[in-house]
């Protein structure tokens, strides 16, 4: 059971989200403004934030960015009524872990929430895994901690899982669909931007020069690989 905060001003959608997350056994608080959401975030710990993109007192994008700067760990699922690809990508680039475009199916909502909570959970009963040494990177899955040249990297849970997945098989090229399925846990077509945006954010954090990435390489037409052949 997790505590989930929903910031959404459309009552029908907020109620739908609440109902279907409560069905999974979670506790849900709905807020209909950013101001109310901000107070709720300050008042206690949350396992997940479901955030609408447009709210009566402001834009979910700016809210998401500020929140991500203050707290790298809170998983964020963005709801967007905007159907343009540009807006979806912007949502991801402000730090959301995943997004759902309205109208969405409740089963898809439940699946996304389940996957985000599973990824974020430090208590996940998985096989014990030792640290991954991929110089200059070092990842400790048990602590979800990562360093580059001994310096701590501030990664979100999703960023960590994506990097750890690549680091387990350095040099292997994975398609965006494979990464979606392995890291996000779903197979939907059309969500490849989710992968691209997270790769961009990871590069900004781990590469010496993110505009000329040496660690996470793009293999055109195929996907991405963690290249450690000439650690830069
Ligand atoms: Ca709205």
User: For the chain, which residues make up each domain, given as ranges?
Assistant: 3-119, 132-226
Predicted confidence at residue 69, as pLDDT, reads 82
CA 184 to CA 119: how far, in whole Å? 8
Q: What angle do CA 3, 8, 9 make, to 5 degrees?
A: 140
Predicted confidence at residue 126, as pLDDT, reads 52
CA 145 to CA 139: how far, in whole Å? 6
How far does residue 159's CA lie from ligand 1's centre (Å)? 27
pLDDT tier, 88 (very low <50, low <70, confident <90, very high otherwise) = confident
Q: At 58, is the secondary structure helix, strand, or coil? A: strand
pLDDT tier, 73 (very low <50, low <70, confident <90, very high otherwise) = confident
pLDDT surpassing 60 at residue 124: no
How far does residue 2's CA lie from ligand 1's centre (Å)? 24
| Beta-bridge partners for 100 | 79
- pLDDT tens digit string along 39-52? 999 999 999 999 99
Assign domain 132-226 to a CATH class: mainly alpha
Mean pLDDT taken over the chain: 88
* Phi and psi at residue 32, to the nearest 5°: -105, 5
Helices (H) and strands (E) in the chain, counts: 8, 14
pTM recorded for the entire structure: 0.73
117 token code pair: 């909570």
How far does residue 72's CA lie from ligand 1's centre (Å)? 24
How far does residue 186's CA lie from ligand 1's centre (Å)? 26
CATH topology of domain 3-119: Rossmann fold (3.40.50)
Least confident of 18-22, 138-142, 147-151: 138-142
Which residues 6+ apart lie within 8 Å of 43 measured at CB? none
**DSSP code, position 227:** -
More confidently predicted of 182 and 31: 31
pLDDT tier, 83 (very low <50, low <70, confident <90, very high otherwise) = low
How far does residue 9's CA lie from ligand 1's centre (Å)? 5
In contact, 154 and 72? CB cutoff 8 Å: yes
């Amino acid at each position: 059971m997790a505590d989930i905060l929903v910031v959404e001003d459309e009552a029908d959608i907020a109620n739908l989200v609440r109902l279907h997350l409560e069905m999974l056994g979670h506790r849900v608080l709905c807020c209909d403004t950013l101001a109310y959401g901000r107070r709720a975030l300050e008042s206690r710990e949350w396992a997940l934030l479901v955030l609408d993109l447009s709210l009566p007192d402001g834009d979910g994008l700016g809210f998401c960015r500020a929140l991500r700067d203050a707290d790298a760990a809170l998983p964020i699922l963005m709801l967007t009524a905007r159907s343009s690809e540009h807006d979806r990508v912007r949502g991801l680039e402000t730090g959301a872990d995943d997004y759902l475009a309205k109208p969405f199916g409740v089963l898809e909502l439940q699946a996304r929430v389940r996957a985000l909570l599973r990824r974020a959970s430090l208590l996940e009963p998985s096989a014990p895994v030792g640290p991954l040494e991929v110089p200059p990177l070092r990842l400790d899955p048990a602590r979800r901690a990562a360093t580059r040249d001994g310096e701590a990297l501030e990664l979100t849970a999703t960023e960590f899982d994506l990097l750890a997945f690549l680091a387990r098989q350095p040099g292997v090229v994975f398609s965006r669909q494979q990464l979606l399925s392995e890291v996000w846990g779903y197979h939907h077509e059309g969500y490849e931007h989710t992968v691209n945006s997270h790769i961009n954010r990871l590069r900004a954090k781990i590469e010496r020069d993110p505009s000329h990435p040496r660690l996470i390489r793009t293999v055109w037409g195929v996907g991405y690989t963690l290249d450690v052949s000439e650690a830069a």
